[in-house]
Amino acid sequence: MLIEQFHKFIDAKSLINKDDKILLSVSGGRDSVALCKLFFNSKIDFEIAHCNYHLRNEDSNRDQRFVADLARKCNVAIHVAEFDTAKYAADNSLSIEMAARKLRYDWYRVLCEKYGFTKIATAHHLNDQAETFFINILRTTGINGLCGIPVKRPLSDDFQSCQIIRPLLFASRKDIDNYLINDTFVDDYTNDTNDYLRNKIRHNIIPELETISPDFPKTLQKSVTRLSFTKDFINKIMLDYFPKSCADGVDKIIIPKNFSFDELCGYIYFALADYGFNSYQLSDIAASVNSVGKSFYNHDFELIIDRDFFLVRKKIADEVVKSVDEHTYLINGLNFVLGDVDKAIIKDFGFSVILTSDIWQKPVNQQVAFLDFDKLKFPLKISNKKTGDVFYPLGMKHKKKLSDFLIDLKVDRYAKDKILTVRDVDDNIIWVVGYRIDNRYKVDDDTEKILIIKYKCE
């Protein structure tokens, strides 16, 4: 029976001890209702947390009422938070999903600090794990991503006294359906659409694999477990043989000598895993280990190559636009280098930059560029057009001379002289400002983060 497997899994993974104060995250859907029922029937003390994100009109309020009724039936305390998620997402340039997650986890921390919860249980199960596995394959995340959803982890890096636990990561969706055969729960209609990548995998890929291997989610979990063993082993080796130190907010990470380029790339993947550099940047860092003084930047960190160490520190972006030196500016924490253009373009806020995970946003006019953040090589450069410039105009698979592109658009000579370009560190054109982005940097189905650059021309 599922409840017996539940007990064995909790014991095997040491998820709960007698002194824990446990909070269950309950949406009212199938999975969280199953989790609640398992805790109740196991006579494990718990309280319930429910978030009303107000994203589905009356359905959101229906869910809240359902969970409140469930708490009464179980005779447990309930904590409810109501959020204006859409406004928070818009105000903070976040996707709805990321905004909801931020609101939820910030609230969890408040509850833990106020009531002393030590564990927060969520209802992720093996089908969620399988979906996450394929999402991370498409995002080329490497072994860290392929290990998927952890069974337990701290609520956050700076709040270790409470852990997130996943007591259902032994059960498939079919197991849960069978367990709830006589129970009621609420449905979220958005789960039935193919509007999101996770839903596409859920409705199309997983069922097809289950025709080949009926217990596919459980079979995949065995591979995920072995990958996790491998990752843990590598991390242990990294700690033992390549320890990093920290002083005055700067992490010093050893640059190994006598490694082949491929070995160095593998080392850097693990050594810099906590800093959020994308795969292009990691390859560039590996290729630049002998370029002492060279810098790399992402939204949160800056890395400088020293003789024997990578020096990494968190970026401080206390201004929207900040001068680094005569030619370099930080715009919202992202590095831009001025080429042969008037400095007033930056100083007068001609350019503005937003980094977002809201992949459903669309450009509203030609003065806005939407770019796949992980395809970009920083620092970016703002410059005038140059003789011989080529790029791949959006929608085209072949490169085109910029001069021919402008002729095709019948751009007059005076307008041509004022044209600006945004380029990457290798001088590749990313955006012909006001006209067209380069096809290589467009947003696609695999995009996780979008860099939005706006140019305010007077």
Q: Closest Cα partner for 425 from 346, 335, 350?
A: 335
Q: Give how far Cα 339 sits from Cα of 26, 116, 221, 379, 381, Å.
A: 53, 55, 51, 12, 6
CA 401, distance to chain mean position in Å, is: 36
Domain ranges of the chain: 2-227, 242-314, 321-455
Report the distance separating Cα 28 and Cα 21, nearest Å.
Answer: 21
Torsions phi, psi of 161, nearest 5? -75, -10
DSSP string, 303-353: EEE-SSEEEEEE----SSEEE-SSSEEEETTEEEEE-SS-THHHHTT-EEE
Over pLDDT 70: what percentage of the chain? Answer: 88
What's residue 346's pLDDT? 46
- pLDDT at site 150: 93
Helix or strand holding residue 429 (H, E): strand 429-432
Taking CA 123 as the corner, what is the angle to CA 120 and CA 125, rounded to the nearest 5 degrees?
A: 130
Rounded Cα–Cα distance for residues 52 and 187 (Å): 14
Neighbouring C-beta atoms of residue 427, cutoff 10 Å: 12
**What pLDDT band is residue 52 in, cutting at 50, 70 and 90?**
very high
Q: Average pLDDT for residues 400-404, to the nearest whole number?
A: 94
Burial class (CB in 10 A: 0-12, 13-18, 19+), 243: exposed
Give the span between the Cα atoms of 6 and 167, in whole angstroms: 7
Residue 256 has a pLDDT of 93
What's the pLDDT band for 351 if we cut at 50, 70, 90?
low
The SS3 assignment for 368 reads strand
Is the pLDDT at 321 greater than 60? The verdict is no
Q: Residue 355: pLDDT above 70?
A: no
Q: What is the mean pLDDT of residues 98-120?
A: 95
Confidence of residue 345 (pLDDT cuts 50, 70, 90): very low
- In this prediction, residue 69 carries a pLDDT of 97
- The least confident of 63-72, 311-320, 341-350, 360-369 is 341-350
- Taking CA atoms, 296 is separated from 130, 279, 354, in Å, by 34, 13, 19
Residues 41-59, mean pLDDT to the nearest whole number: 95
Distance CA 51, CA 99 (A): 13
The pLDDT value recorded for residue 91 is 82
CA 456 distance to own-chain centroid:
29
Q: Which residue has the higher pLDDT, 95 or 119?
A: 119
Give Cα 4 to chain centroid, integer Å: 35
Is the pLDDT reported for residue 452 higher than 90? no
Measured on CA atoms in the order 136, 142, 146, 147, is the torsion positive or negative? negative
Strands of the sheet containing 22-25, edge to edge, are: 78-82, 47-52, 22-25, 119-121, 159-165, 152-156
Question: What is the rounded radius of gyration, in angstroms, for the C-alpha atoms of the chain?
Answer: 25
| Predicted confidence band of residue 363 (pLDDT cuts 50, 70, 90) | low
Residue 326's pLDDT is 47
Q: How confident is the model at residue 322 (pLDDT cuts 50, 70, 90)?
A: very low
Q: SS3 of 407, please?
A: helix
Q: For the residues 314-328, what does the mean pLDDT come to?
A: 49
pLDDT for residue 457: 52
Residue 423 pLDDT exceeds 60: yes
pLDDT of 197 = 85
**pLDDT class for 185, splitting at 50, 70, 90?**
very high
Average pLDDT over every residue of 187-199: 81
Q: Give the model's pLDDT for residue 341.
A: 46
**pLDDT for the residue numbered 320:** 41
Please, are residues 30 and 185 in contact by the beta-carbon 8 Å criterion? yes
More confident residue, 337 or 367: 367
Task: Please state the rounded mean pLDDT for residues 229-249.
Answer: 90
Is the pLDDT higher at 423 or at 166? 166
Regarding the domain with residue range 321-455, which homologous superfamily does it belong to in the CATH classification? Answer: Phenylalanyl-trna Synthetase, Chain B, domain 3 (3.50.40.10)
In sequence order, the 6+-apart residues with CB closer than 8 A to the CB of 120 are 22, 23, 24, 25, 49, 108, 112, 155, 162, 163, 164, 165
- Residue-level pLDDT at 276: 85
| pLDDT, greater one: 107 or 141 | 107
What pLDDT does residue 298 have? 80
Q: How confident is the model at residue 350 (pLDDT cuts 50, 70, 90)?
A: low
CA 360 – CA 167 distance, rounded (Å): 33
Report the distance separating Cα 60 and Cα 45, nearest Å: 27
pLDDT confidence bin for 324, thresholds 50/70/90: very low
Strands (E), 273-308: 295-297, 301-305
Q: Write down the CATH number for the domain with range 2-227.
A: 3.40.50.620
Calculate the average pLDDT of the chain. Answer: 86
User: Which pTM value belongs to this model?
Assistant: 0.67
pLDDT at 352 over 90: no
pLDDT band for 357, please (50, 70, 90 cuts): low
Task: Please say whether the beta carbons of 25 and 122 come within 8 A.
Answer: yes
Position 75 pLDDT exceeds 80: yes
**Which of 101, 121, 100 is CA-nearest to residue 112?**
121
Residue 60 in contact with residue 54, Cβ under 8 Å? yes
Strand partners, 421: 383, 432
Asked if the model's pLDDT at residue 343 lies above 60, the reply is: no
Q: pLDDT category, 328, cuts 50, 70, 90?
A: very low
Question: Residue 82: which of 105, 64, 102, 109 has the closest Cα?
Answer: 64
pLDDT for 261 beyond 50? yes
